[in-house]
Copies of this chain bind each other. A is one copy, B any other.
C-alpha cells in the first residue's frame, strides 16, 4: 500500500517536472496528479525536493535502462541494436526534450544536491554507451578504438540533436543529426 502511494508520487513528480521544470512544478499539481494527500506524501518523503531527486534518479535510470542497458544484455549485433534505438521515433518527445538535459540546464548550477544526482546519472549513461561500444569491439563489429571518446561524442550528438529538434520544432533535425552520428560511428567499423 505504502509502496503504491510512493510509486504514484514518483510517477506524478517525474511527469510534472518533465513538463514544467523543477522550479515550475507545483507541489499541489503533483499531489493532484498522483491522487495523494499531502499528509500521505510526508509518510514517504520529507519535502518536494527529496521527492524530486528520488523521481529523477529512478525514472531516468529506468528510461536509460530499458533503452540502452538492455542492448548490453543482448547477443548482438550491438551497433545495429544501438542504431535502432537511436532511430526509434516512438521513444522521443521532441516537445519536452530530454528530461536529463532539461534538468542539467535548469538545476546543475543552482543546487548541489541536484548537481550530484544529475552528475551520477550522466556518468552512468556514458558508461553504458561505452559498454555497448566495448561489446561491439569484442564482437568484431568495431575496430579497436577510443570507446570512451566515442561514448562522449554519442551523448553529445544525442543531447544536441534532441535540443535542436525542440528549438526548431522540427523532428527532422534530430533524425538528420543521428544519421550523421551513425555515419561517424560506421567509420570505425571493422
Contact check: which of B109, B149, B167 meets A176 at CB < 8 Å? B149
How many residues on chain A are close to B (CB under 8 Å)? Answer: 44
User: How many copies of this kind of chain does the complex include?
Assistant: 2
Structural contact, A108 and B21, CB atoms closer than 8 A: no
Which residues in B have their C-beta under 8 angstroms from that of A163?
A: 101, 104-105, 156, 159-160, 163
**Interface of A, helix, strand, loop or mixed by DSSP:** helix
Given contacts A95-B109, A97-B105, contact A152 B173 (CB under 8 A): yes
Q: Beyond the given A24-B106, A97-B104, A153-B180, please list 16 additional residue pairs across the A-B interface where CB-CB is below 8 A.
A: A20-B110, A95-B109, A104-B163, A119-B167, A122-B164, A149-B176, A149-B180, A152-B173, A153-B157, A155-B164, A158-B160, A159-B159, A159-B160, A159-B163, A160-B163, A163-B163
